[in-house]
A and B are shown apart, each in its own frame.
Chain A
Amino acid sequence: MEPGDSTKQARAATQLRKGVLEYCVLALMRDRPRYGVELLHALEDSGALATSQGTVYPLLSRLRRDDLVTTTWQESTSGPPRRYYALTDSGRAALDEFTRVWPGFRNAVDTFLTTPHPSTGDLA
């Protein structure tokens, strides 16, 4: 095993995560508003999307600025009030759009990864 293999693996995961993380975060809010710590737990439980927790907050901040989510404060029975994130109409539209293109995208990548590449141009 070459040195740096694990770094390369991590890089692939990081690159992928960068592209899909915000849509997964939006998807987590599909059915109900969620607060920050709750979102992070869900990401963590997913395994592949787990990321350094703190880096999700700048993402949430951008989603808020881009008007894809709104936030409201809600009191909690335990501890401080929580800031809940909810989808806006444009957030829902962005999520729907991603949901629409994702299967085709996923299948295309799968095809590239599993089909042996013909050495010539024609598809056998």
Chain B
Amino acid sequence: MKTSADLVHGYLSAVEREASALPADRRQELLADLAEHIEVTRAERPDTAIGEVLAELGDPRTIAATALAEAGNGAAGAPARGGAPARRGKIHPLVPLLMLTLPFLFAALLPHVPAAQFCSTLFRVIGAVLLCTSVHWTSVQKTTGVLLTAVLPTVAISVWISSSAAPSGDTPALLANLATLALLTGTAAWLWRVRRA
């Protein structure tokens, strides 16, 4: 015998599955809205069977299809399902990627200019935030991107600076900078390739 919680969970999982083509934030929002609806309806009509509440909400496939159509709606209101419509008001995916990589290059070229170091850090933090709030990547891709382009280099640089074991001199520092730059470029290239239009 399935409990109400099982039925609700099963229903929401079905919506989640059917809506897998939606950007993750939209999908989570839809699931939260539906979960809230179920909770409110149950509070207002405690005698109604959960099956009936879910039946009234409708077929998960229909809901997901509507959400996809709404997500694809441009200013013209043309349904653009499965295509690659430009999402209105969203930042171009190149912006976070360039902000995460280019400032590092400048900072590496100008190691003794504090302003360059500061701006580089600032831009890269903004880049990381833009990456995380973008609709072009899944949350897993965003996490991986931030780990590889921001967290890992920062940790490595901190260790490098604080550790006495690090070799001194310009050549090792240059090599380390090149390695970091390669990591940043590689990750950015990967993010560019896996982005959603």
Q: Using a CB-CB cutoff of 8 Å, which residues 1-46 of chain A contact chain B?
A: 35-37, 40
With beta carbons under 8 angstroms apart, the residue of B15, B29, B70 that contacts A59 is: B70
Do A53 and B66 form a contact, CB below 8 Å, given A61-B26, A79-B42, A79-B43? no
Interface residues of A in 67-112 (CB under 8 A from B): 76, 78-80, 82-83
On chain A, which size bracket covers the interface? 20 to 34
CA distance A37 to B38 in the complex (A): 9
Question: Does A80 lie within 8 Å of B40, measured CB to CB?
Answer: yes
Interface centre among A37, A54, A55, A80 (most CB of B within 10 A): A54
Give the residue of A57, A76, A79, A80 whose beta carbon is less than 8 angstroms from that of B33. Answer: A57
Complex contact A62–B73 (CB within 8 A): yes
- The reply to whether B43 and A78 form a contact with Cβ atoms under 8 Å apart is yes
Find out whether the CB atom of B56 lies under 8 angstroms from the CB atom of A37: no
* Contact status A57-B34, CB under 8 Å: yes
Interface residues of B (CB under 8 A from A): 15, 26, 29-30, 33-34, 36-37, 39-44, 56-60, 62-63, 66-67, 69-71, 73
Measuring CB to CB, which residues of chain A are less than 8 angstroms from any residue of chain B? 35-37, 40, 52-55, 57-62, 76, 78-80, 82-83
